[in-house]
Amino acid sequence: MQQIVVNNIRLYAYHGCLPEEARIGSEYRCDVEVSADLTASSYSDQLEDTVDYVSLTRIVKEEMQTRSALLEHVARRICERIMAEHGLVKEAKVRVAKLCPPIEADVEDVSVTWKTTR
């Protein structure tokens, strides 16, 4: 089993429990790691034989635009879409981080990591 990793996808979105978060929004960072048998693509050198990281990034961007109160909700949705759209993927792991969250502490980010297996 091999991995494809897309790190540090930066986005602006409107997730959170507070009304201000829905109105103002925040910066987010997402990391995606998928495991799949990439043997065929390593020989064929053809995009259709692998998991396209452009597609993984598109899924993240689209799902991040659907508002959620909780990061757990959006992370699960991203994993489910990856599994639904990429039959080659055996395991998907997604980390969604809210940068500079609205809490009373000096915190760089808060994050949720979600992992789904087939």
90 catalytic per annotation: no
Bridge partners (DSSP) listed for residue 112? 96
In the three-class reduction of DSSP (H, G, I as helix; E, B as strand; rest coil), residue 61 is classed as: helix
Tell me the C-alpha to C-alpha distance, in Å, between residue 98 and each of 4, 37, 41, 48, 63: 23, 32, 34, 33, 15
Rounded Cα gap, residues 27 and 102, in angstroms: 11
Ramachandran region, residue 8 (left: φ > 0; alpha: ψ -120 to 50; beta: rest) = left
Task: Say which of 90, 93, 98, 115 is annotated catalytic.
Answer: 98
Question: What residues are labeled active site?
Answer: 98
